[in-house]
Structure 1
Amino acid sequence: MTINLRNDLMELGSEALLALANPGFVKRAQKDVAAGNVPELKQDEDGTVHAIFEDGVHTSISPTDSLRDARCSCAASSMCRHRVTLVLAYQLANTDTSATATANPDIDNSFWTPAQFDDAAIAAGFSVQVIEQARKLAIARPIAKVRNAVISADGISNPGVILPMSHVRFFSRTSLAHARCDCQQGSACAHVVLATWAFRQAQQSQPGVAEVSLEVLLPGQNGETVTAEKLLQTDSAKNTLADIEAYLWSVWRDGSAQALPGLEARHASLQAGVQALGWTWVSTALDDVWHMLEAQAHRSNRFDIQDLSDAIAQLWARLQAARHADTNMNAFLPASQVLGIGQKGEVALDLLRLVSLGAQFWRDDISEGVSLVFADPDTQAVSVLERAWPLAKDAKEASADISSLLQRRLAGLSVKLLAGGQVITRAARRRANACLELGANARQTSVLPLSPKSFDDLVAPLKFSQLGTLRDYLRQRPPANARAIQSGADWHVLELASLNLEHWSWDAARQTLFAAWHGEPENRLHAYLPYQHLTPGAVDAFARALNGEFGELLSLAGPVWLEHGQVCMQPMTVMTAQRAIVLALEAANPQQMSLQQMPLPVSAEQALLRETRYLLNQLLRQGVRHATPSQRTRLDAQARQMADAGYSKSAALLQAIFTEAGDNHNTQSAQGLTKLENLSGLNLLIQELLA
């Protein structure tokens, strides 16, 4: 059977089949084909392929069908193993023919882009209604992140586009029918058309670039000069910007420990204005600041004053970036992307496969909760499932650990089962900030336990096999104030095969277990796991893994950041040769550990920067208005030390906090907003110097 070779079927590799079907059907089909249990194949002149199985099941797929649209006479209502087996059997039967075609020197197999699909291909593959829906979406000029196919040692990655609320991937060079979207429709939807247009624009503006962010335009607008809409020139936008800055300054002015009722009313008013303007990322950033203020007031174990300081600085910087983009035609990112316009609501997802990366538990005076972090092997995206419950009245007499939290139910399943498993569900909805919700119908969700191979399907930019590659990725990504605000965005997986464990110890003063691995010269991974009273077994389990009790360490998963040019991680899940370990779920099992203080900053200058940040955090907690004379003297001396060390810009910003001209602490005063600018700018500058 060599006539009319179906290249679209020959192009569907394992990754494509896993995305278009599901792991269970793919594994069953691969097993059957390997055992020689293949169906009889026939191909019509129009290209339709038929598979007739021994049990009489008849499956067929035409050139315009996606894998899900293939017809099958079995009892399955949608996807089934017969469809996958048809593809694998067809590939097996035509391997020689495919190899001959691949060897043709006129065919470039090294790179491809969906930009090659023209209007005729779109018209042939999509209904008029779907194309019109795509045009309506494009009128709003949504932001798209275009990821071209990338050649690596592992082969050629599949191209894809991240759109607001949906991810689209292309698996065939010859057919749009096999493009996969994670929306509820799954394929042949308006998002696929929109993604194709995005690839055309990327090919025209920045050909060959691995990743491009752009506003998707209607095809007729490509190449034309489009006057950008001034989003921040309206009275409502100007007033909202001024109110947000006044709100942030009031936190600095009166301190983060101030009474919350007044701030709560202002927060609610600000959210109403921001949501009316459609500024999704600004709304999310405001919520982040507010939740941290609540966590401090309720004495939650999830509160960290440095996180609050960073959140305020990042929100202020996002507003400045939006102002710049709104008045500058050549801005790196459009104002709509910085503000998050078009990123709203939530979307129902198709069949979703999730792999747990770890769990974080928290408790305060009035509630307790959990954040479950998952990776999607299909889209390489991270999502977070969060839930909080009122604290029981007798909580003070209850155990201080998380035993009760682990038995809480989400979608009919225990938190412990979800946190340590691989989830397959048809009941998921995703919000713009990558937070998930699972439907209450437990029949639509199933869970399998994690295994040492659970991370095998993860790739960059989620999983990295080389430490240097991860470090370069962290260095090259846009600044936090310009990125989409996605929960779990800092979580990554790092394989340890190319690294050697140098040492690990327990710092009793800081109550932290730390470890260091080295790879290339002067390139190290530093892991820090602080003790948490809710999860006392995490430190013990990590120590056992470092001791080799569970075999070779394969990989670590958790939040990642840069410090002094080195990659740092808080490990949350450890993969070993014998088992997968979600550290927060482990029972306490005291281990003997060597005692050693964590290494101090590598230079006096870095120690000075850390001390300055500590003093600023004290000021934020107490409030600029309530600074004592001794505090002012201490900060003035710190500014002189910063200047002597060569940090003249940082020193000037620090000295400006208590100048006479700025002693008017009125919330709406120009001096107050100047102080907010100085404090936020100083925080961001120290972050950059310490990274």
Structure 2
Amino acid sequence: MTARAAVRADLLALSPDTLASLANRGLVKRATKDLDAGAGPDVSVADDGLVRAVYEDGTQTELPPGAGLDRGRCSCAAPGICRHLVGLVLAHQRSAAAGPEAVAAADGEPPAPWSPGAFGDEALAAAVGARALARARRVFEGGYTAEVHPATPAAPEPWVELPTCTVRFPVPGEIGHALTDASPALRGEMLALAVWAFRAAGARPVEPGAAALVRLEVGGGHHPSRAAHTALDRAVTAVDDLLADGVAHAGPLVGGSLRSSGTALASAGLHWPAGVVADLAAQVEAYGDRSAAHRAEDLAALAGELYARHRVAAAGPGAYADVLGVREAGETALRRVRLVALGCRVRGAGPATCAEVFFAHPEAGVVLVLRREWTAREGDGTPPPSGPDVGTRRVLGTTLRALATGSLISESARRTAGRALVLGRSRVATTTVVAVGSAWTSLPEPLLVRDLVAHTADWDRRPPRLLRPRVAAETVRVVELSWVGPVAYDPAGQRLSAEVRDAAGNGAVLSAGYDPRCPDALDVLADALAEGAGTRWVSGVLSRAGGRVRIDPLAVLTPAGVTVPDLAPAASGSVPASADRVPPPVGGPATHRADDDVATTVDRALTALAEAAHHGLRSSPPSVLSALDDAGDRLARCGLDRAAGLVRAVPAALPRGVTAVRDAWVEAQIRLLVTAELHRERDVRAG
């Protein structure tokens, strides 16, 4: 091997973990073994930075400057990144007499923050190739969204989350060695889009101390196309008709019409409104089927969300990326990924049972959701599948219970814009499930939360839920606990709760409600949280109520392993025997009864609006009109004068026609949805 005459700093900075991510760990181990056995190549570095390696068997390998391993050339027949390219990097590091750790130690200082956006398109073409650059340019012309995380002294690795993948830049000052969870065929294109996102973010102001520019829109004209506007207008018109006539009077074709509108919205690139319309169609069809999945309040909330997003679209181009999901990619194929299961949530309505398995994607820093549904056969008396039942069902060659407590390694995974996980079957691209072990404890932030206060610090700056991106598992996280208090059970509310503290000592409430589809979930959860169980990590959905963080648990990690309460095998009882049968202190000592009255009043007003939409705004029965007037009076007594006036305006608009009634209903619905969300989250102790 050559002496240390010339070195490539980018190759010296490639750690074994980064090499394993670019290729795979098996190739790294084999190349290391060959070097240790003295079978390494002769390496030379040209004046222009081209690294050449010649092996004893005559195999020749080259790696141009500014390019990643995927752009290297090798005379062997192996496709993609081969062991010879990995051996070239390792041999060059050894010939320089310093690996990545030694170089970092020699510097004595962390690398200065840098931005991939500083690289021009010429360097980008050298890193990804002309074809990938041309494909990326077509996407750029249409526009796309990105969440940019610039490098900081505390986190020197810049990264960006694109609609359906993540791109990281682990080597300071180099873009060719970027890591992405996109498939190899899409790697170059995604790398170019990430660089352009950093370039666009460079012109945007960053708040002091901010670690990210959230939901940046890159390229395009920043306007939905004419086809997108037309599709959105048609969807709103369909909902106009639905509300005017009422869900109770909707014909059998309404659901199909809404489904068609949702498809048109997705084709036009408006994925968030498309999801709203699809959910509306499901609600209408559920009512037609007399299914328990239908709730008038849910349908009304979806209608309010669609109107809110449509109003933003009509107002101007300010927040299309967040509100409409403009130009989000429908699906993106992922390269070989390892996903860590975080548990499962089982819910049912009528004869159907749905299971959602949550997976942490460590490289992307997000949670993906795999959905499966089973329906009992009608007419034969078969009960709907329960949580323990679906836990034994086969999914991808294993049981759902094993899938929800393991790590998934797949070469045929796809990720949607809404963070749903799609797994295909292939004889070539395999999918395997292994034990999760202690993988939870090594998850990166923000997937693993040690400080709930810091994690939720920016929640107050979020837009309302009805305008946020419609992504699954938005707040599913693993929380490290330092203390678990006594478990308490409220028989009236059928809810199990416990006071807990995170690793930083911040208090929170862990709370789970009873679901008949999972009869023994609370028993299992109580046992896992009991004193002496050793529970230190819990996965769940984070929310805020009364200024406190709440954790709705999905799974717990104890010294015995991961336990998923919803999939727990049936036991003798259905009431938590190990919990004290007393209401838990979930609201804190400063919770006021008046605050409960406000929440109840807002909920009653939303119910009255939902009933109006259910029966039809064109001719709501007197009982509904009376309920709206009464809701307005109650809101006024609680001090919500603006909301009270909007609710009273609905029946008052009847003489002016159905359009006036609908406009008044939309104003009241949006106002109350936002009021209910803010009221649930605000700290009542603050005033």
Does structure 1 retain, via aligned residues, the 8 Å contact 2:555–2:562?
yes
Q: Larger deviation: 7-16 or 167-176?
A: 7-16
Instruction: Give the corresponding residue for 2:12.
Output: 10
Instruction: Give the corresponding residue for 1:597.
Output: 583
Equivalent of 1:489 in 437, 454, 474: 474
Equivalent of 1:613 in 595, 602, 605: 602
Do structure 1's residue 246 and structure 2's residue 240 form an aligned pair?
yes
Structure 2 letter corresponding to 1:559: V
Structure 1 letter corresponding to 2:639: G
Instruction: Give the corresponding residue for 1:119.
Output: 121
Does structure 1 retain, via aligned residues, the 8 Å contact 2:352–2:385?
no
Q: Larger deviation: 390-399 or 577-586?
A: 390-399
Equivalent of 1:683 in 657, 673, 682: 673
What is the alpha-carbon distance in structure 2 between the residues aligned to residue 254 and residue 598 of structure 1? 41
Instruction: Give the corresponding residue for 1:161.
Output: 160
Do structure 1's residue 287 and structure 2's residue 272 form an aligned pair?
no
Q: Report the alpha carbon displacement of residue 122 of structure 1 after superposing the two structures with TM.
A: 1.6
Do structure 1's residue 319 and structure 2's residue 283 form an aligned pair?
no
Cα distance change of structure 1 residues 149 and 578 upon mapping to structure 2, 3 Å threshold: farther
Scaled by the length of structure 2, the TM-score of the pair is 0.83
Scaled by the length of structure 1, the TM-score of the pair is 0.83
What is the alpha-carbon distance in structure 1 between the residues aligned to residue 21 and residue 418 of structure 2? 23
Q: Report the alpha carbon displacement of residue 198 of structure 1 after superposing the two structures with TM.
A: 1.4
Q: Larger deviation: 345-354 or 229-238?
A: 229-238
SS at 2:439 equivalent: coil
Cα distance change of structure 1 residues 169 and 536 upon mapping to structure 2, 3 Å threshold: same
Q: Report the alpha carbon displacement of residue 572 of structure 1 after superposing the two structures with TM.
A: 0.3
Equivalent residues, number? 660
Once the two structures are superposed, residues 396-425 of structure 1 have per-residue CA deviations (whole angstroms, 9 ceiling, x without a partner) of 345753444334343444323322221111
SS at 1:143 equivalent: strand
> 1:95-110, aligned counterparts within 5 Å?
95=98, 99=102, 109-110=111-112
Do structure 1's residue 62 and structure 2's residue 63 form an aligned pair?
yes
What is the alpha-carbon distance in structure 2 between the residues aligned to residue 554 and residue 127 of structure 1? 48
SS at 2:335 equivalent: coil
What is the alpha-carbon distance in structure 2 between the residues aligned to residue 542 and residue 90 of structure 1? 53
Cα distance change of structure 1 residues 507 and 641 upon mapping to structure 2, 3 Å threshold: same
What is the alpha-carbon distance in structure 2 between the residues aligned to residue 398 and residue 164 of structure 1? 40
Do structure 1's residue 263 and structure 2's residue 265 form an aligned pair?
no
Once the two structures are superposed, residues 25-69 of structure 1 have per-residue CA deviations (whole angstroms, 9 ceiling, x without a partner) of 67x579979x9778757531236375979xx99896635453456
Instruction: Give the corresponding residue for 2:51.
Output: 48
Equivalent of 1:651 in 644, 648, 654: 644
Structure 2 letter corresponding to 1:468: V
Instruction: Give the corresponding residue for 2:685.
Output: none
Do structure 1's residue 236 and structure 2's residue 230 form an aligned pair?
yes
Structure 1 letter corresponding to 2:641: S
What is the alpha-carbon distance in structure 2 between the residues aligned to residue 359 and residue 375 of structure 1? 12
Does structure 2 retain, via aligned residues, the 8 Å contact 1:130–1:189?
yes
Cα distance change of structure 1 residues 42 and 538 upon mapping to structure 2, 3 Å threshold: farther
SS at 2:560 equivalent: coil
Instruction: Give the corresponding residue for 2:529.
Output: 546
Once the two structures are superposed, residues 321-368 of structure 1 have per-residue CA deviations (whole angstroms, 9 ceiling, x without a partner) of 222234xxxx3x2x3552222124323222122111222234444433
Structure 1 letter corresponding to 2:513: P
Q: Provide structure 1 residue ranges, at least 5 long, that are not aligned to the other structure.
A: 219-226
Do structure 1's residue 501 and structure 2's residue 495 form an aligned pair?
no
Q: Provide structure 2 residue ranges, at least 5 long, that are not aligned to the other structure.
A: 682-687
SS at 2:492 equivalent: coil
Cα distance change of structure 1 residues 6 and 434 upon mapping to structure 2, 3 Å threshold: same
Instruction: Give the corresponding residue for 1:221.
Output: none
Do structure 1's residue 346 and structure 2's residue 328 form an aligned pair?
no
Q: Report the alpha carbon displacement of residue 294 of structure 1 after superposing the two structures with TM.
A: 4.6
Once the two structures are superposed, residues 601-630 of structure 1 have per-residue CA deviations (whole angstroms, 9 ceiling, x without a partner) of 512342122212331354355435487766
Cα distance change of structure 1 residues 176 and 505 upon mapping to structure 2, 3 Å threshold: same
**Identity over the aligned pairs, expressed in percent?**
25
Structure 1 letter corresponding to 2:51: T
CA root-mean-square deviation: 3.9
Cα distance change of structure 1 residues 25 and 215 upon mapping to structure 2, 3 Å threshold: same
Q: Report the alpha carbon displacement of residue 82 of structure 1 after superposing the two structures with TM.
A: 7.8
Instruction: Give the corresponding residue for 1:211.
Output: 212
Does structure 2 retain, via aligned residues, the 8 Å contact 1:558–1:573?
yes
Instruction: Give the corresponding residue for 1:148.
Output: 150
Structure 2 letter corresponding to 1:649: R
Q: Report the alpha carbon displacement of residue 681 of structure 1 after superposing the two structures with TM.
A: 1.6
What is the alpha-carbon distance in structure 2 between the residues aligned to residue 419 and residue 520 of structure 1? 25
Instruction: Give the corresponding residue for 1:222.
Output: none
Instruction: Give the corresponding residue for 1:472.
Output: 457
Does structure 2 retain, via aligned residues, the 8 Å contact 1:411–1:442?
no
What is the alpha-carbon distance in structure 1 between the residues aligned to residue 609 and residue 38 of structure 2? 69
SS at 1:144 equivalent: strand
Cα distance change of structure 1 residues 32 and 592 upon mapping to structure 2, 3 Å threshold: farther
> 1:85-484, aligned counterparts within 5 Å?
94-95=97-98, 99=102, 109-152=111-154, 156=155, 158-185=157-184, 189-206=188-205, 209-212=210-213, 213-217=215-219, 229=223, 236=230, 239-240=233-234, 242-247=236-241, 249-250=243-244, 254=246, 261-275=252-266, 277-294=268-285, 307-326=298-317, 331=318, 333=319, 335=320, 337-393=322-378, 396-398=381-383, 401-441=386-426, 444-484=429-469
Do structure 1's residue 570 and structure 2's residue 552 form an aligned pair?
yes
Structure 2 letter corresponding to 1:494: V
Does structure 2 retain, via aligned residues, the 8 Å contact 1:656–1:662?
no
